[in-house]
Amino acid sequence: MPTLKRKTLAPLALSLILPILPLQAQPAPPAVTVAEPLRRHITEWEEHIARLEPSARVELRARISGQVDQVHFQDGQIVRAGDLLFTIDPRPFDIAIDSARAELARAEARLELARQEIDRTASLVRDRYAPQAQLDTRRAAQRDAEAGIADARAKLRQAELERSWAEIRAPQSGRVSDRRVDPGNLVQAGATLLTTIVALDPIYASFDMSEADYLRLTRSGAVRQGAGEDDPAVQLRLADETGWGRRGRLDFVDTGIDARSGTIRARAMLANPDLFLTPGVFARLRLRTGEGEVLMVPDAAIAADQARRVVMTVAADGTVVAKPVVLGPVVEGLRVVRDGLEQRDQVIIAGLHLARPGSRVTAEAEPLPSPARLAETR
């Protein structure tokens, strides 16, 4: 009987001791920093890599054959339209002009003789001393002499034209390259390259757009063909420049997508009065795609979920919720969110590696810095 009492009291004593033992502490939810998306009225730009090209390029070749007599420019000089660049020995062409003038005088003499013969023959035919056929022959000779004068005058104009080609002038303003021939060299008409002139003001900036960029910009009205002065504005900066101080406009988009690269060629035109922009230089170009109210978050707040981009938000009860978003460009250090986010959402901007969809976190609110302040910190 005493043994049974001891067995009954053992569980009772154990139950009295257990509440006294301390319970194991549960870990606190990880702390993350959250902020509401920043709403701003911005102008959106699409950036591309552009290459500068001259607005015109002329390969200067002689239109006549002959010997170069003089070169009238320095290599790399800025020239104006009409400036004398080369002189080809003009003496053969002066001789051709003299010959053409002599031929014209000979034709005029034949015409004068034909007219005199017509006058003499006309009186003889009127008095019936000569047949009508003789007068007709004289009149045919007059018309032949008149045609000879026209031919001689044409040959004279041709000789004078070729003489003018002996002075090779700049067809347009621009920067001239180095000379390819020196005085004393023989040049062949249409074959020998003398030099090259490139027009630098204005200057072109050519770039390629992907098919997706072209469709988006076209639907938004940012790309228009043949708009003239209303062409969309573009901005450009060189590799060593930080600001977008150079302005231009989009003036050409090619007629179709290149099947090999899947891109379409476009071109912007920029003023270059100081001729600082040089063909062949690479630059960054951005095209205005629109403006309006948008939501912006730090680019570091964007996470990847397989094929989607998501933003981690914290609900009122501390639960992490992943929201798929449609992203836009980065503007002054903040990423534009086109769709999928609301103004009141609490976006995780720091501690993203601690947040998992469905888990609980401790949210510490902090306002987002303005784009201007963010740009200064960078």
Query: In whole angstroms, what is the distance from residue 167 CA to residue 173 CA?
Result: 17
What does the pLDDT average to over 55-83? 93
- 263 vs 371, residue with greater confidence: 263
Q: What share of the chain is helix, strand, coil (3-state, %, to 5)?
A: 30, 40, 30
**Residue 363 pLDDT grade (very low, low, confident, very high; cuts 50, 70, 90):** confident
What CATH code is carried by the domain that includes residue 130? 1.10.287.470
pLDDT at 206 over 70: yes
Q: Are residues 236 and 318 in the same domain?
A: no
Asked whether residue 345 is domain-assigned, the answer is yes
pLDDT at 355: 82
Asked whether residue 172 is domain-assigned, the answer is yes
Q: What percent of the chain has pLDDT over 90?
A: 37
Q: Which of 56-65, 147-156, 253-262 has the lowest mean pLDDT?
A: 253-262
Q: Please count the structural domains in the chain.
A: 4
Backbone angles phi, psi at 194, to 5 degrees: -90, -50
- 114 vs 50, residue with greater confidence: 50
Indicate the angle between helix axes 91-126 and 132-164, nearest 10 degrees.
170
Mean pLDDT, the chain, integer? 84
Helices (H), 187-322: 211-219
Residues 6+ apart with CB under 8 A from 74: none
pLDDT at 236 over 60: yes
Q: Are residues 249 and 311 in the same domain?
A: no
What does the pLDDT average to over 242-261? 88
Q: Are residues 120 and 219 in the same domain?
A: no
Asked whether residue 252 is domain-assigned, the answer is yes
Using one digit for the tens of pLDDT, what is the confidence trace for 140-163? Answer: 888 988 899 999 999 999 999 999
Asked whether residue 196 is domain-assigned, the answer is no
**Residue 377 pLDDT grade (very low, low, confident, very high; cuts 50, 70, 90):** very low
Q: Are residues 108 and 136 in the same domain?
A: yes
Residues 6+ apart with CB under 8 A from 36: 343, 344, 345, 346, 347, 367, 368
Query: In whole angstroms, what is the distance from residue 343 CA to residue 40 CA?
Result: 11
What does the pLDDT average to over 287-303? 84
Q: Are residues 85 and 171 in the same domain?
A: yes
Asked whether residue 21 is domain-assigned, the answer is no
Query: In whole angstroms, what is the distance from residue 75 CA to residue 207 CA?
Result: 30
pLDDT at 378: 47
Domain region containing 108:
91-164
What CATH code is carried by the domain that includes residue 79? 2.40.50.100
pLDDT at 14 over 50: no
Using one digit for the tens of pLDDT, what is the confidence trace for 296-323? Answer: 888 888 888 777 888 889 888 888 888 8
**Residue 373 pLDDT grade (very low, low, confident, very high; cuts 50, 70, 90):** low
pLDDT at 21: 46
What does the pLDDT average to over 226-247? 77
Asked whether residue 344 is domain-assigned, the answer is yes
Q: Are residues 148 and 241 in the same domain?
A: no
pLDDT at 226: 47
The first and second tokens of residue 70, run together, are 């003089």
Query: In whole angstroms, what is the distance from residue 138 CA to residue 254 CA?
Result: 65
Q: Are residues 138 and 251 in the same domain?
A: no
Asked whether residue 5 is domain-assigned, the answer is no
pLDDT at 4 over 50: no
350 and 301 Cβ atoms separated by less than 8 Å: no
Residues 6+ apart with CB under 8 A from 178: 75, 76, 195
Q: Are residues 151 and 179 in the same domain?
A: no
Three-state DSSP at 115 gives: helix
pLDDT at 12 over 60: no
